[in-house]
Each structure stands twice: as C-alpha cells, then as structure tokens.
Amino acid sequence: MLQALLLAIVLVAAPAEKAPELRSSSTWINTDGPLKLGSLQGKVVLIDFWAFDCDPCKETVPHVEALYEKYSSKGLVVIGIHTPRTSEEKQIPKLREAVKRMGIRYPVVVDANQKMFSDYRCDLWPTQFVIDKKGFVRLSRGGVGRSRDIEEAIQDALNGA
C-alpha cells in the first residue's frame, strides 16, 4: 500500500516533458509556411497525429476540428501531423482531397517518413498532444473517445494552470 502511494506521488510530481520541435517538411496544408513550436511560445498547441485512411482518425478529426473552432480565438493552435501508413496515404493529392473532404481548416504537415511520429514516441493512430504556453507536454492521448480529457487539458493550459 505504501509503495503504491509513493509511486502515485512520484507520478503526480513528475515534471512535464518539453515537446520535441517539429521537423522540417516540404508539405504544409492550410498555412502559408512551416510552423515551429519555438515560434508558438505563449500559445497552447494541440498536435494530432493522424492518417486520412485510418478509421479511428476519421472518428477523431471532427472533435479536433471542433476544438480548433472553439479555442483558436483564445490562443489555441492546432497542427495536424499526417503520418501515412500506406503508399496510398503518401500521395499528396489524395491527402489534399481528404483534408478538403473532412473539412479540416487547421494546418496539416506531412510526416512522410514517420520521423515526428517517432520523436513523439507515438505507437498508434490517432494520438494527440496538448502543449502548454511554455512548450511542455501537458497531456498525451492515443486512440478515440478521450476528447473531454483533451478539452480539459486545453482549457487548463489556456488558463495557465
């Protein structure tokens, strides 16, 4: 019992990890140019790793878009990192078509070789990260059905908690 309590205290007290900087990519959609986390200090960032032909990702994208709509005017920046799993998903025209069809308005960057996916130690699609105004990861969630946790982390980060 005491060991479990001590472990819980250590986990709660563990410092947040600095978010890895986004690698360069030749393909950005819905933005005039590349975004860098270093230039977004003072903003809360939601990163969504996804792929356009991934059924769980298709389920999650509307929630991410809703968060973008609700909080972008309050200081939230959303970046979709398209990390293709198949040769079809690597086709940029098909990605552009999917972004349009899915109604994605936030910036999307292509992670063609899964380097950013690896930098963030992702192991499934989709995975979201909430990054606070100082560039620290406040929450990471993989899979679907956790949109309330993500929204609460965004609200806390926007409020400086």
Residue 5 lies in a domain: no
Residue 141 lies in a domain: yes
Is 90 exceeded by the pLDDT of residue 146?
Answer: no
Interacting residues of 90 by C-beta distance below 8 A, sequence separation 6+: 84, 112
Interacting residues of 153 by C-beta distance below 8 A, sequence separation 6+: 130, 138, 139
pLDDT 10s digits, 64-73 = 999 999 999 9
Residue 1 lies in a domain: no
The predicted pLDDT at position 26 comes to 92
- Strand, helix or coil for residue 141: strand
Total domains, the chain: 1
pLDDT 10s digits, 71-100 = 999 999 999 999 999 999 999 999 999 999
Residue 84 lies in a domain: yes
Residue 125 lies in a domain: yes
Residue 2 lies in a domain: no
In this structure, what token pair is assigned to residue 64? 């991410």
Is 70 exceeded by the pLDDT of residue 9?
Answer: no
pTM of the model: 0.89
CATH assignment at residue 151 = 3.40.30.10
Residue 3 lies in a domain: no
Residue 138 lies in a domain: yes
The predicted pLDDT at position 124 comes to 94
Domain of 123 in residue numbering reads as: 16-30+42-158
